Structure 1
Amino acid sequence: MPEVDLVFPRAWIEFQDPADADQVFRCDLTWLTSSWTCIFGQGCQGIYETAPDAGCCTLGAHFSDGDDEERVAGWVAQLDDAHWHHRDQALDRRGRLQRSGWVDTDDEGERKTRVVDGACIFHNPRGSAAGYGCALHGLALDRDVHFVETKPDVCWQLPIRRTFRDVERPDGTTYLEVGIGEYDRRGWGPGGHDLDWYCSGNTEAHTGVEAVFVSNEVELVTLMGRPAYDVLAAACEQHLRTRSALALHPADPRA
């Protein structure tokens, strides 16, 4: 089945953050109860047809802020050749790891991971002795921690998208709206429409045994906090019991 259209009916829920009265979550139940799952290395065609094995790692990862970069740097320092195929690319002449060896800046001055051989420097190619896939993901598995700790924010969040919007009510009061939804092509900006393939709207990736809100619980708790996640999870479970076919994600085989 080809990739579904970007515009279709969705079911949403809004609720006040139990941990912050000035914050309201607006969550896409259609996406969060869908059967999407990451199929990297298991049918993923990559965002560019010239690099199918690189998945969505071809452009490198932009850091959300300085704290994100510093957190990742602590884990990068723990990578050795057994985990990281391109580690030699990040060393100076004396064999010492240097930040400029794995961090780059884009045309707008935003900091991101370097691209080496057509993909993020932390992408280990097929056949590598370090193992295929993300070196930082592999390190998380080796250290028995979740990859939300080791990988850049954008990497572990995708394809969940968190947005922020200031909202003014008719009575003049305001609140911060936090959106939790699908990171579809549009989340990449104008260039997202030029991607050769994308997973969130493809039937090929809607093969998960568990719904997104279950399989991505750690990611969602990190983004929302446990109290808000518990409210969301209850709403998702209710939605699964009562939703109509109209609320199914069109890429879901059940649709």
Structure 2
Amino acid sequence: MGTTKAAKQQNRDGVRGAHGTASAQTRPGAARDEEVGLDFPRAWVEFPDPADDEQVFRCDLTWLTSRWQCLFGNGCQGITAGRAEDGCCTLGAHFSDEEDEQRVAGHVARLTPEMWQFHGVGTGPHGWAEVNEEGERQTRRFQGACIFHNRAGFEGGAGCALHLLALREGREPLETKPDVCWQVPIRRSYEWVELPDGEEVLYVSIGEYDRRGWGSGGHDLHWWCTAAPSAHGAGQPVYVSYRAELIELMGKAGYDRLAELCEQRLAAQLPLVAPHPADPPAPSASTPATDAAQED
């Protein structure tokens, strides 16, 4: 039996104590300056993985058909106040596992001082990786940001040295960068689900890496682009601009099916159901209901 609204409120008050419930202005998911709120209607689609009978993709079409684009160096305000030029590189990059770190190490070996501003530091005795306060390995932070982050004015180019390496070599940046760096702002999560007949399938969710994707600390970020209207003006939707990354996350067959469903959504004559609120307003489209109203 579902919990009543009054019971839910009582539970919240019991947890929060004498301070009561948070106001709409202070709750974590609320809209803030230059960002829409985190909680809004979304359109999801589920489909079996064409390459794996035991796997089902659950994809957020609201996000994947949105017009988000990375604003690094072109309007990005950064996740830390006063360090806009760092973008989301202030904290360094956590490695997903040992294989991730070893893969990155192979590409770091090809970086030169002309490509990497802190080459001398990163190849020195303290290296380019470190263990953080949580005991996890990540790229080393140097002078307030990731050691691979070339600062503005560096002759080899500002931004991630590993990203620049990929572009110079004609590779996709996902090949040279840590997993978390190329996956953001796509979030992939897994959940085993038992079906009514007792069978189990693995649900793989592909959606938006919003502030909550960072954990509770995500609400303290100075700025985050996925909810910022200023970052929603791309000429292509996310499922097109992030094709390479989505193929890596889903496989080619899974991506191809996703692309078909995204195209069907965008080709519909009716206004999109549950568009991303940070996207620019879509051109008005006629519907049978509006046409009838105009005739009256």
TM-score bucket of the superposed structures, by smaller chain: over 0.9
Q: Which moved more, 1:223-232 or 1:100-109?
A: 100-109
Structure 2: where are the runs of 5+ without partners?
Answer: 1-32, 283-296
CA drift at 1:128: 1.1
Secondary structure in 1 aligned to 2:175? coil
Alignment partner of 1:127 out of 153, 169, 173:
153
TM-score (norm 2): 0.82
Deviation at residue 92 of structure 1 after TM alignment: 3.1
Question: Which structure would you say has the larger Rg?
Answer: 2
Question: Which residue of 2 is the match for residue 247 of structure 1?
Answer: 274
Write the mapping of 1:99-114 to structure 2, written as runs, cut at 5 A: 100-114=126-140
State the TM-score, normalizing by the size of structure 1: 0.95
In structure 2, C-alpha distance between the alignment counterparts of 1:2 and 1:51, rounded to whole Å: 17
Q: SS at 2:226's partner residue?
A: coil
Q: Which residue of 2 aligns with 1:77?
A: 109
- For 1:244 and 1:63, the matched residues in 2 are separated by 41
The aligned counterpart of 2:144 is: 118
Structure 1 residue 2 displacement after superposition: 2.1
Tell whether 2:73 aligns with 1:41.
yes
Runs of 4+ in 1 over 3 A off after TM superposition: 243-246
CA distance in 1, matches of 2:124, 2:74: 36
Paired with 1:50 and 1:172, the residues of 2 have a C-alpha distance of 54
1:245 Cα deviation from its structure 2 partner: 4.2
Match of 1:173 among 185, 194, 199: 199
Aligned equivalents of 2:70, 2:122: Cα separation in 1: 28
Distance in 1, matches of 2:123 and 2:164, equals 20
Residues 80, 222 of structure 2: 8 Å contact kept: yes
Identity %: 57
Specify which of 79, 82, 89 is matched with residue 50 of structure 1.
82
Structure 1 residue runs of 5 or longer lacking an equivalent are 94-99
User: 2:42: which partner in 1?
Assistant: 10
Match of 1:196 in 2: 222
Tell me, yes or no, if the aligned pair for 2:265 and 2:272 is still in contact at 8 Å. no
Answering whether residue 189 of structure 2 is matched by residue 157 of structure 1, we say no
Instruction: Give the number of equivalent residue pairs.
Output: 249
Point out which structure has higher relative CO (alpha carbons under 8 A, 6+ apart).
1
Query: Tell me, what secondary structure is at the counterpart of 2:244?
Result: helix
1:119-148 deviation digits (Å, cap 9, x = unpaired)? 100000001122100000000011111101
1:231 paired residue number: 257
Structure-2 residue corresponding to 1:138: 164
How many Å apart are 1:49 and its aligned residue? 1.4
Q: How far is the alpha carbon of 1:27 from its aligned partner?
A: 0.1
Shift of 1:91: 2.5
> Does the CA contact (< 8 Å) of 2:43 and 2:62 recur in 1?
yes
Counterpart CA distance in 2 for 1:13 and 1:227 is 16
- 2:69/2:231 contact within 8 Å kept: yes
Determine the C-alpha separation between the residues in 1 that align with 2:158 and 2:233: 22
Question: Which residue number corresponds to residue 124 of structure 2?
Answer: 92
Displacement of 1:150 after TM fit? 0.5
Can you list the C-alpha shifts for 1:42-79, whole angstroms capped at 9, x where unaligned?
00000111211000000000111111111110000000
Aligned to 1:96: none
